[in-house]
């Protein structure tokens, strides 16, 4: 599985039964406008990513350097890029 497919699966898990998007999750999908993730869902996603990618990917630490509006403006590609950078 690529990083993107893993991240996309985790996003779908977080959104759960409310998942009603026909479009595929791509690197260009934005968390706020396209996926409409709530900030509390972002907390849940951060935790799932940490569990999935391990301690080496300090996702919460990375997010904590950002303001809430920056976090909201993130795209899936930004997260994938961060994870890949941690693993190389």
Partner 1 sequence: MPHLIANDQELHHQLLGDATSDATPCVFAHGLLVDNLSSWYFGAAPIVASSRLAVCYDLRGHGLSSHAAEGYDVGTGARDLIALLDSLGLQQVDLAGQSWGALICLRVALEHPERVRRLVLCEAPLPPSSLSEMASVISSDPQELLDMLPESLREAFSGGKRRAIKAARRLQRLLTESTLVADLKAEGDIEDERLAEISQETLLLYGDESSCRPVADRLLALLPKASLKTLPGGHYLAAERASDVGALIKEFLDG
**Which ranges in the chain belong to alpha helices (H)?**
3-15, 39-53, 59-64, 68-72, 76-87
Is 17 an interacting residue with respect to partner 1 (CB under 8 A)?
no
Which of 38, 84 has the CB closer to partner 1? 38
Segment lying near partner 1 (by CB under 8 A), choices 1-9, 17-25, 77-85: 17-25
- For residue 6, which of 60, 50, 49 has the smallest C-alpha distance? 49
The Cβ of residue 53 has, within 10 Å, a number of other Cβ atoms equal to 19
CB of 38 to partner 1, least distance (A): 5
Dihedral sign (CA 49, 81, 57, 54): positive
Which of 2, 16 has the CB closer to partner 1? 16
Q: Where do contacts with partner 1 occur on this chain (CB under 8 A)?
A: 15, 18, 20-21, 32-33, 36-40, 42-44, 47, 60-61, 63-64, 66-69, 71-72
């Amino acid at each position: 599985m690529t990083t993107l497919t893993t991240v996309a699966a985790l996003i779908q898990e977080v959104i759960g039964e409310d998942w009603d998007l026909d479009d595929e999750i791509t690197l260009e999908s934005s968390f706020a406008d396209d996926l409409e993730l709530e900030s509390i869902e972002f907390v849940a996603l951060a935790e799932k990513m940490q569990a999935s990618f391990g301690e080496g990917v300090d996702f919460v630490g990375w997010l904590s350097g950002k303001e809430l509006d920056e976090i909201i403006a993130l795209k899936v590609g930004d997260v994938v890029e961060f994870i890949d950078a941690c693993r190389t």
